[in-house]
Amino acid sequence: MTATHNFDKALALTPGTQRGHFAGTTSPDYWNMVGPFGGTTAAIVLQSVLLHPELLGAPIAITVNYASAIERGAFEVQATPVRTNRSTQHWTIHITQADANGEQQVNTTATVVTAARRETWRASDIPVPQVPPPAEVARMGIGPSGVAWLNHYDMRPISGHVPTKWDGSGDHSETRIWLRDAEPRALDFASLASMSDMFYPRVWLRRAKHVPAGTVSITTYFHAGKAELAEVGTGYLLGRATGQRFHNGFFDQAAQLWSEAGELLATSNQIVYFKE
């Protein structure tokens, strides 16, 4: 008997009668503090495209805008292939939930680009961080934070841990971490999209101050095809995230995700709201 992985349960979408329309339900497993973990929301956006009968190729770019909180319960997703070219396809996606009057209100907007890739020259201009292997790095304890989604990832921070003292002593914003699903699951585009949002708000690390913060918009670029993801399988990814500019209520952070073999699989940027 093979039980369905929690992540696949969270991604489960039922096609509606209208093409590209899907129904889903928020996952208690991947719940964050006041809504679903944003990575899951990005994965659901991507999944609606991957399930669409008109899909061309594989994802190369996704932008997800968290327009408002998603409530526990049912949601709807609409994925529309706005333009299909010979080798690229452009998608718009939105997630909605019914308000008190039963009217669907948009809580998430997104765009995705998919493409039929061809083999070309390859290179990476971002050096792979030199770090000890996952087996030599302690797994992060979750403790009594009450944040459900953290339980579903095996996270092994090498540097840039969540501060244990909120004493304003921070002086950098870089985290390096090994990560993978806690219950093994072979890497695919949906889980890679989700893991791109895995890094806690850089402002906490930079300031060692626990201010309110939340992602407003995330953009992830995929630098691997299905075959390269299959090679990773259930292995660890090496993640690195750094803050860039903190200014008047918003900051951005840049992230990279490598395979254990040192292939840069995804680069991701997000802009994050923060207070004070």
CB of 61 to a second copy, least distance (A): 5
Contact call for residue 120 and a second copy (CB under 8 A): yes
Q: How far is the CB of 23 from a second copy (least distance, A)?
A: 20
CA torsion angle 39 45 49 52 (round to 10): 120
- Residues ≥6 apart with Cβ < 8 Å to 154: 139, 178, 179, 180, 181, 182, 236
Dist CA 185 CA 5 (whole Å): 7
Name residues contacting a second copy, limited to 196-235 (CB under 8 A).
202, 206-207, 216-217, 219, 221, 223-225
Q: Which of residues 25-84 bind a second copy (CB under 8 A)?
A: 60-61, 63, 65, 67-68, 82-83
Q: Which is nearer to a second copy, 6 or 65 (CB)?
A: 65
CB of 239 to a second copy, least distance (A): 15
If residue 191 lies in a helix (H) or strand (E), which one and from where to where? helix 189-195
Q: Are residues 33 and 66 in contact, defined by beta-carbon separation less than 8 angstroms?
A: no
Is 187 exposed, middle or buried, given 0-12, 13-18 or 19+ CB atoms closer than 10 A?
A: buried
83 or 161, CB closer to a second copy? 83
Binding mask 92-111 for a second copy (x = CB under 8 A): x-x----------xxx-xxx
The distance of closest approach from Cβ of residue 107 to a second copy in the complex, given in angstroms and rounded to an integer, is 7
Query: Closest CB to a second copy among 129 and 225?
Result: 225
The distance of closest approach from Cβ of residue 266 to a second copy in the complex, given in angstroms and rounded to an integer, is 9
CA distance 99 to 106: 10
Indicate the SS3 state at residue 187.
Answer: coil
Residue 57: closest CA among 231, 230, 225, 229: 225
Q: How far is the CB of 259 from a second copy (least distance, A)?
A: 12
**Other CB atoms within 10 A of residue 144 CB:** 6
Taking CB under 8 A as the criterion, the residue among 145, 159, 234, 244 binding a second copy is: 244
Binding mask 167-196 for a second copy (x = CB under 8 A): -----xx-----------------------
Residue by residue, DSSP assigns 12-71 as --EE-SSTTEEEEE--STTB-SSSB-HHHHHHHHHHHHHT-TT--SEEEEEEEEE-SPPP
Residues of this chain that interact with a second copy (CB under 8 A) are: 60-61, 63, 65, 67-68, 82-83, 85, 87-88, 90, 92, 94, 105-107, 109-111, 113, 115, 117-126, 172-173, 202, 206-207, 216-217, 219, 221, 223-225, 242-250, 252, 254, 256, 264, 267, 269, 271, 273-276
